[in-house]
A and B are shown apart, each in its own frame.
Chain A
Amino acid sequence: MAFFDLNFMQNTTIKAWAWVHKWSSLVCTVFMLLLCLTGLPLIFHHEIGHLLGTEIEAPPMPADTPRVSLDEVLSVARAQYPDRVVQFASPGEDDDNLWFVTMTPTPEPTTDFRSVVVDARTGELLAQPRFDEGFMWIMFKLHVDLFAGLAGKLFLGFMGLLMLVAIVSGTVLYAPFMRKLSFGTVRRERQTHVKWLDLHNLLGIVTLVWLLVVGATGVINTWADLVIKYWQHDQLTSILQPYQGQPTVPQAQRASVQQSLDVAHQAAPNTKLYFIAFPGTSFSSPHHHTFFLKGNEPLTSKLMWPVLVDAKTAQLTAAPQMPWYVKTLLLSQPLHFGDYGGRPMQIIWALLDIASIIVLGSGLYLWLRKRKTAPKAMTQTNNGVNA
């Protein structure tokens, strides 16, 4: 407590924190501005999709309309791209009358993918949307990996860590800057930079916990690929022992995927299919169809259970519990996206995102101004604190 009181906070301590705040912010600010700007449309990606008409809807039919076999759906998808393989298949997020099938040249991770949307009831080809082009794709890639794959993700993750350092150091500096000002003071009648310093402090402290959470969960998300890789190594190695030395199961030898899906649902009742990873892809093994199932309660619907079904025999191999580190990753996703509390939460996410842009921009402005006029100007604005 005393630590946050200026009476106990030495001038050198403040200087040290100011140094940390300055450098951690300066290095990451440009990238954080980019993330805030590209994140803004991503908050509303569903709504933007509807507006642009790129959201696919299944034609209305009675609720009890029988569904075609998943194998039929997959063959429709394969017929569109005979030279590609199925990497993933998933029911529509909002409408499970749709099947989304992702087709790639090989099972390896790639950005070269095609999507085929098939009606789950009729097996009719509904659309072949391109998710890998257009405005939202550019926003998404800039936000996630700067078009640089894993290296880009990890780089942005490191910038995110610096932002967390900037938030913590900024919070420590809030005390000396605000010690004589009541909460929320914005000295508009003073010079421009004083007003912006006050706004920086106000919006910084108001967005503090939100930005810490969104920042930290964003950093965790950048490690997703590595976490999944580690999970496969950690948990699947022993399960896959009997298959050692066998190649990826060829298409011709694979059992019915519909039958495998039924096996998975029997192994994990009261769950909903999230997606299917096909043999040899990054989320599966070379020898399995892996079904990722979600719970149907609020909290468990954010988690996933993998069920591995032998690709040749359609027999259940394993349904391992996800370890804590994968659960942490999964729970950190909604906390980053802000997509778990309806429309009001989306709007608040956008407003707090804009507030963060102002914090970043004003911080940059204050630094540029201080550089031009230092050291005289800051001494008068800080209520005697030499930052």
Chain B
Amino acid sequence: MSARKPSSHFLFLWAWPIVLGVLTAVGLVAALFSDDGWGDVLAGICLAIPTATGIWYGWLRRSPRTLPKAD
């Protein structure tokens, strides 16, 4: 890990959290601007992705990949 450049290590840590955070924010705001329309659909999709991510990594995924990364 120490061989990585700081910027790639930053992305290694934060790429997923940032993507999920942005999706959540877009989802929360989108539905404010719509009534049963495209905004609600967009919001549903944007908010479902972080939720599904939590369920997938937390409970559904069972594979050797869960072993700690060898460094």
Which residues in A have some Cβ–Cβ distance to B below 8 Å? 1-2, 4-5, 7-8, 174-175, 178-189, 199, 202-203, 205-210, 213, 297-299, 301-302, 331, 334-335, 340-342, 344-345, 348, 351-352, 355
Return the contact of B17 from the options A5, A174, A182, A301 (Cβ within 8 A): A174
Q: Are A352 and B51 in contact (CB under 8 A)?
A: yes
User: CB-CB < 8 A to A183: which residues of B?
Assistant: 15-17, 57
* Cβ contact within 8 Å between A202 and B6: no
B51 adjacent to A298 (CB under 8 Å): no
Across the interface, which residues of B come within 8 angstroms of A184, CB to CB? Answer: 16, 53, 56-57, 61
* Known interface pairs A208-B21, A301-B35; 8 further A-B residue pairs with C-beta atoms within 8 A, sorted by A's residue number: A174-B13, A183-B57, A184-B56, A206-B50, A209-B24, A210-B47, A341-B39, A341-B43
Interface of A is mostly: helix
The interface residues of chain A lying within 8 Å CB-to-CB of B2 are: 7
Chain B residue with minimal CB distance to A359?
B54
The reply to whether B28 and A210 contact each other, CB–CB distance below 8 Å, is yes
Question: Which B residues contact A (CB, under 8 angstroms)?
Answer: 1-2, 6-7, 9-10, 12-17, 20-21, 24-25, 28, 31-37, 39-40, 43-44, 47-48, 50-51, 53-58, 61-62, 66-69, 71
Are B47's CB and A345's CB within 8 A?
yes
For the complex formed, measure the closest distance between the CB of B7 and the CB atoms of chain A, giving whole angstroms: 8
- Contact partners of B25 in chain A: CB under 8 A: 209, 213
Is there contact, CB below 8 Å, between B32 and A178?
Answer: no
Cβ of B16 to closest chain A Cβ, rounded Å: 4
User: A181 to B31, alpha carbons, bound, how many Å?
Assistant: 34
3 closest residue pairs by CB, A with B: A184-B57, A341-B31, A344-B44
Q: Is the pair A178, B13 in contact by a Cβ cutoff of 8 Å?
A: yes
Complex CA distance for A342 and B35, rounded to whole angstroms: 9
| A352 contacts across to B, CB distance below 8 A | 47, 50-51
Please, which residues of chain A bring their CB within 8 A of the CB of B24?
Answer: 208-210, 213
Q: Which chain B residue shows the least CB distance to A195?
A: B66
Cα separation A339 to B54 with both chains bound (whole Å): 22
CB atoms of B51 and A348 under 8 A apart: yes
Chain A nearest CB from B1 CB (Å) reads: 6
Residues of A within 8 A of B62 (CB): 188
Q: Which residues of B have CB within 8 Å of A342?
A: 36, 40, 44
A4 to B13, CA, bound (A): 9
In the bound complex, do residue B50 and residue A210 qualify as a contact, i.e. CB atoms below 8 Å apart?
yes
**Shortest Cβ distance from A366 into chain B, in angstroms?**
16
A selection of 14 A-B contacts at a CB cut-off of 8 Å is A1-B6, A1-B7, A2-B6, A5-B6, A8-B6, A183-B15, A185-B66, A186-B58, A209-B24, A210-B24, A342-B40, A348-B51, A352-B50, A352-B51
